[in-house]
């Protein structure tokens, strides 16, 4: 089978491949827009072979292999290890790049999209990848009765068809970002779309699934028939779920694993002094938050929601809990890592007196229960204790209930009315809001319901004038900031560490774990 060089190569982008792929989809690539390896990285050719072991948190015994269900770090990476999406993204700019789709075009109104798919790609069981597999994958995730987390992203699809050997997607309304929508990590392409068995994990990715012990251990072997020769450098991959921060550090320090994620900021200086370990701090789109369900008492009162937003000391949280590894949040889920992000909205600050004013205005009395857990985000317990102390100065009594890490994302998040939670980034503002603020989204975890916001989201999605789009996104951000149940005090840097024996790390603006593609990109040296 003929193999294809990917646009992601070594520690950066292969310039020739990038220019060829961007020309195919109508991008205007410039030298300043390209990611190129540093001199030291360029001198290193990926070595092949070896057994890569990753120690990751946020894996649960309730995890399943259906990519539509993936939430935590462990399964986020697992999906990219066995699967491919139709479209991928540039690690630096976040622009859409070819993957299983070689190129795409759209009608002027961005309603009809035609994707040309790769030929001669095979699934792990040897069967050929076809247009039908891609179509069935999108049909399964977009079905009105689907439980997929991608359902909210795909609700605008009217038809999915095969025409002349191409995949043709017709939308109810225009969407200038459809290729980027298809980069969502839940949309790994499966044999027959996973219709026969959504948990089969038979994909076209760099590694084949060998064993799956949810919340414990997942193993993979190299896909020798991989269509993409610039990835999958090791012979096998093992993911060990290690939810305890201390245990992850011990595993890396002892050489049991080559990489660990979600480090505590307190451990970064210590690990950075270890002779065989390198720490990694990457700015991204992820954030720490406290979520109030706005249709559930007492959080159905916006004065109470505003009181709580004013009752948290964001700067203290950034300094003491994140150790400065992050930036301040402003109660909307977008920062300057997103294109067209608003930059002139006044920063909300800790104001106990104003918080007390809104709290009195709300008429609420008595304690407010906040559920938190080490499994919510790194430092979530400390952040919750700090929030509790901040709120007390405003006369607000927050009571903390510590929940177990295992099962937190299936039993507490999106089910209980006031919780600590973490969100990773999305490729675009549209995807970010569609996933968690659109009133009909399955993962609308604050139960935000604003018909005008929903309408603005649809208008912005189809708008091709970038300045008009920017203005719409600004208005949407203010609506979420002032009316939703989202308390977003900080955007976190991704804090990870690796053995010096593991190479190939790429900072990727898309998300943590090199945008989930760590196993695909890494190689080992002796």
Can you say how many angstroms the Cα of residue 179 is from the centroid of all Cα atoms in its chain?
A: 16
pLDDT, one tens digit per residue, over 98-132 is: 999 999 999 999 999 999 999 999 999 999 999 99
Q: Which whole number is the average pLDDT over 75-95? A: 95
Structure tokens at 315: 């700067």
pLDDT, one tens digit per residue, over 134-168 is: 999 999 999 999 999 999 889 899 999 999 999 99
pTM score of the predicted model: 0.79
The values of phi and psi at residue 41, to 5°, are: -70, -40
Alpha-carbon gap, residue 131 to 123, rounded angstroms = 13
Pairwise pLDDT comparison (9 vs 167), residue with the higher score: 167
Whether the pLDDT of residue 295 is over 90: the answer is yes
Q: Rounded to the nearest 5 degrees, what angle is found at the Cα of 405, between the Cα atoms of 68 and 427?
A: 40
pLDDT, one tens digit per residue, over 186-234 is: 999 999 999 999 999 999 999 999 999 999 999 999 999 999 999 999 9
pLDDT of res. 372: 98
pLDDT, one tens digit per residue, over 342-354 is: 989 999 999 999 9
Query: What's the mean per-residue pLDDT of the chain?
Result: 91
pLDDT of res. 509: 87
The values of phi and psi at residue 492, to 5°, are: -95, 145
Structure tokens at 324: 């400065």
- Per-residue 3-state assignment (H helix, E strand, C coil) for 474-502: HHHHHHHHHHCCEEEEEEECEEEEEECCE
pLDDT of res. 423: 95
Look at 262-276, 284-298, 394-408 and tell me which has the smallest mean pLDDT: 262-276
**Number of neighbours of residue 500 by Cβ within 10 angstroms:** 12
User: 32: helix, coil or strand?
Assistant: helix
Rounded to 10 degrees, the C-alpha dihedral 309/310/316/317 comes to: -10
pLDDT of res. 2: 44
pLDDT, one tens digit per residue, over 404-419 is: 998 999 999 999 999 9
Pairwise pLDDT comparison (247 vs 1), residue with the higher score: 247
pLDDT, one tens digit per residue, over 17-76 is: 333 333 333 333 222 223 333 333 445 899 999 999 999 999 999 999 999 999 889 999
pLDDT of res. 138: 98
Whether the pLDDT of residue 5 is over 80: the answer is no
Length of the chain in terms of residues written: 526
Is residue 103 classed exposed, middle or buried when 0-12, 13-18 and 19+ CB atoms within 10 A define those classes? Answer: middle
User: 214: helix, coil or strand?
Assistant: coil
Cβ pair 237, 211 in contact under 8 A: no
Alpha-carbon gap, residue 341 to 428, rounded angstroms = 10
DSSP letters along 274-311, please?
STTEEEEEE--S-EEEEEE-TTSTTTT-HHHHHHHHHT
The DSSP 8-state label assigned to residue 191 in this structure reads G
Q: Where is 67: in which H helix or E strand?
A: none
Alpha-carbon gap, residue 99 to 88, rounded angstroms = 6
Whether the pLDDT of residue 240 is over 70: the answer is yes
The values of phi and psi at residue 396, to 5°, are: -105, 125
Which residue pairs, CB below 8 angstroms and at least 24 apart, start in 126-133? 126/225, 127/191, 129/100, 129/189, 129/204, 131/162, 131/165, 131/166, 131/167, 132/162, 132/192, 133/189, 133/190, 133/191, 133/192, 133/193
Structure tokens at 423: 């969100």
The DSSP 8-state label assigned to residue 62 in this structure reads T
Token look-up 């070594």 returns 10
Q: Which whole number is the average pLDDT over 322-347? A: 95
> What domains lie within the chain, and their CATH numbers?
8-204+494-524 (3.90.76.10), 287-492 (3.10.105.10)
Classify 482 in phi/psi space as left (phi over 0), alpha (psi -120 to 50) or beta: alpha
Q: State the sign of the Cα–Cα–Cα–Cα dihedral 78, 80, 85, 91.
A: positive
Token look-up 């649960």 returns 60
Whether the pLDDT of residue 436 is over 60: the answer is yes
Classify strands 398-402 and 368-372 as parallel, antiparallel or unpaired: parallel
Alpha-carbon gap, residue 158 to 154, rounded angstroms = 9
- Closest-CA residue to 169 (of 147, 195, 188, 141): 141
Whole-number percent of the chain with pLDDT over 90: 85
pLDDT of res. 3: 59
Whether the pLDDT of residue 4 is over 60: the answer is no
Whole-number percent of the chain with pLDDT over 70: 92
- Closest-CA residue to 267 (of 248, 286, 284): 248
User: Which residues in 330-395 belong to E strands, given as ranges?
Assistant: 368-372
Whether the pLDDT of residue 493 is over 60: the answer is yes
């Amino acid at each position: 089978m003929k193999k294809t060089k990917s646009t992601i190569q070594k520690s950066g982008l292969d310039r020739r491949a990038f220019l060829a792929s961007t020309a195919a989809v109508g991008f205007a690539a410039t030298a300043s827009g390209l990611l190129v390896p540093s001199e030291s990285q360029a001198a290193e050719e990926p070595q092949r072979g070896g057994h890569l072991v990753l120690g990751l948190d946020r894996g649960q015994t309730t995890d399943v292999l259906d990519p539509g269900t993936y939430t935590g770090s462990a399964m986020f990476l697992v999906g990219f290890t066995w699967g491919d999406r139709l479209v991928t993204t540039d690690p630096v700019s976040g622009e859409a790049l070819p993957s299983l789709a070689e190129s795409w075009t759209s009608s002027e109104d961005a309603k009809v999209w035609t994707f040309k798919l790769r030929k001669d790609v095979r699934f792990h069981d040897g069967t050929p990848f076809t247009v039908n597999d891609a179509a069935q994958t999108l049909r399964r995730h977009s079905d009105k009765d689907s439980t997929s987390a991608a359902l909210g992203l795909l609700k605008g699809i009217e038809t999915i068809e095969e025409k002349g050997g191409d995949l043709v997607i017709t939308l109810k309304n225009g969407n200038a970002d459809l290729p980027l929508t298809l980069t969502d990590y839940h949309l790994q392409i499966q044999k027959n779309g996973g219709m026969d068995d959504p948990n089969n994990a038979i994909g076209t990715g760099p590694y084949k699934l060998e064993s799956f012990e949810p919340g414990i251990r997942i193993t993979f072997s190299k896909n020798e028939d991989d269509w993409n020769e610039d990835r999958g450098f090791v012979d096998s991959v093992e993911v060990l779920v290690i939810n305890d921060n201390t245990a992850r550090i011990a595993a890396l320090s002892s050489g049991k694993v080559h990489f660990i994620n979600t480090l505590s900021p307190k451990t970064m200086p210590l690990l950075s002094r270890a002779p065989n370990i390198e720490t990694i701090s990457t700015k991204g789109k992820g954030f720490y938050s406290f979520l109030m369900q706005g249709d559930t008492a007492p959080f159905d009162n916006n004065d109470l929601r505003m009181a709580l937003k004013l009752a948290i000391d964001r700067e203290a949280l950034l300094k003491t809990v994140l150790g400065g590894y992050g930036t301040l949040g402003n109660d909307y889920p977008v920062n300057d890592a997103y294109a067209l992000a608003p930059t002139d909205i006044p920063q909300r600050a800790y104001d106990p007196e104003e918080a007390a004013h809104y709290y009195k205005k709300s008429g609420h009395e008595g304690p407010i229960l906040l559920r938190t857990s080490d499994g919510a985000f790194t430092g979530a317990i400390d952040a919750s204790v700090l929030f509790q102390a901040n709120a007390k100065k405003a006369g607000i009594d927050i009571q903390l209930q510590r929940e177990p890490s295992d099962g937190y994302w299936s039993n507490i998040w999106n089910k209980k009315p006031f919780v600590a939670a973490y969100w990773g980034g999305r490729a675009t503002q549209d995807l970010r809001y569609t996933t968690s603020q659109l009133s009909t989204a399955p993962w609308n975890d604050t139960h935000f319901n604003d018909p005008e916001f929903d309408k603005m989201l649809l208008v912005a999605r189809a708008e091709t004038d970038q300045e008009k789009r920017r203005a719409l996104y600004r208005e949407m951000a203010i609506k979420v900031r002032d009316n939703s149940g989202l308390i977003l005090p900080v955007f976190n840097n991704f804090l990870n560490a690796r053995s010096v024996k593991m190479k190939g790390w790429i900072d990727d603006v898309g998300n943590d774990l090199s945008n989930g593609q760590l196993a695909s990109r890494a190689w080992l040296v002796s």
